[in-house]
Amino acid sequence: MSEGGQTPDWFWEAVETPSESGSVEVDDCDINYLTWSGPGKQGLLLVHGHNAHAHWWDFIAPFFKDDYQTAALDLSGMGDSDHRDTYSTDTYAREILAVADALSMPTDTIVVAHSFGGRMALRTFVEHPDRFGGLVLVDSGARDPEEQKEKARDQGPPRLAQSKVYPSREIAMSRFRLQPPQQCANQYIVDHIARNSVEYIDEEDGWSWKFDDEQSMRMERAGDAAEEVRALTGRTALIYGEQSESFSARSAEFMKSLLPELEMYPMADAQHHVFLDQPLGFVDQLKDVLSRWR
């Protein structure tokens, strides 16, 4: 955490580390990605959550660039990737695969995927079991069925996100909120993410969010998360927030029952957005997992 409200030096060093952007076409859409290091090493591919983008990893990826070919992508309808008329689990799986292939990432590449991205990564691994070397799910996976029903009752039917525009970047950033809602003590991280979550439309419309507000309504889901977890054959780890309201210890134990070899790592003092709440703790935990897998 920052001290006295100041942004720590490690954060500035991380986000000021140069990255390069590129894109690959998948089903007539350009999929944007960022890279922090090139081929020649084991791969590390980072996948963001719902309505997020590759810049969520700006303060995490640089810690791994010296030892891994490190990259992150924008799933379609989010970040700087194109929008689609319809979205699907299988399409997102193809996007993850296509970015790894476009970057010539080796077959021992590890995929680290948060929240919604974890669900899409699960599908990728089931469809292409020999393409990657391991999967690290971050507060994501197969939820305990009874807990999922309870949450569905509490939340009610899905709501359409409203497309909002703002007269300035500063006003748009001030409206940024984490979803699902939570407080984050590291405001400097939230500010960085907010800064990279808006884009200029035009003089009349001003600034808006970098995601398709109709993505959820036009999303076609395929497969069953529990069956996909059970079908995993490679190294798999779960890092989840002990205080997460999205993925509880109960769901973690449910996943362990599906996949006994699953490695589980609860993060203390962390909610759903684990690596925002405990960025350095998350880096240390991920480094530990990766070092043992190597």
Each residue of 120-133: pLDDT tens digit?
999 999 999 999 99
Say how far apart CA 294 and CA 110 lie, in whole Å: 10
Say how far apart CA 81 and CA 211 lie, in whole Å: 9
How is the beta sheet containing 43-47 ordered, strand by strand? 20-26, 29-35, 69-73, 43-47, 110-114, 134-138, 235-241, 263-267
Band of residue 1 on the pLDDT scale cut at 50, 70, 90 = very low
User: DSSP 3-state assignment of 180?
Assistant: coil
Q: What is the pLDDT of residue 202?
A: 85
Say how far apart CA 144 and CA 230 lie, in whole Å: 14
Q: What is the pLDDT of residue 188?
A: 97
Band of residue 194 on the pLDDT scale cut at 50, 70, 90 = very high
The residue type of 200 is: Y
Flag whether pLDDT at 181 surpasses 70: yes
Q: What is the pLDDT of residue 5?
A: 63
Which residues have C-beta within 8 Å of that of residue 195, sequence separation ≥ 6? Answer: 169, 173
Which residues have C-beta within 8 Å of that of residue 147, sequence separation ≥ 6? Answer: 248, 250, 251
Q: What is the mean pLDDT of the chain?
A: 93
The residue type of 151 is: K
Closest CA to 122 of 51, 228, 49: 228
Average pLDDT over residues 8-31: 98
Say how far apart CA 264 and CA 254 lie, in whole Å: 11
User: DSSP 3-state assignment of 26?
Assistant: strand
Q: What is the pLDDT of residue 3?
A: 40
Flag whether pLDDT at 2 surpasses 90: no
Domains of the chain, earliest start first: 9-163+213-293 (3.40.50.1820)
* Pairing outcome for strands 235-241 and 134-138: parallel
Quote the percentage of the chain above a pLDDT of 90: 88
Band of residue 149 on the pLDDT scale cut at 50, 70, 90 = confident
Rounded to two decimals, the pTM is 0.94
Q: What is the pLDDT of residue 151?
A: 67
pLDDT tens digits along 62-108: 999 999 999 999 999 999 999 999 999 999 999 999 999 999 999 99
DSSP string, 37-99: S-SSS-EEEEE--TT--GGGGTTTGGGTTTTSEEEEE--TTBTTSPP-SSEEHHHHHHHHHHH
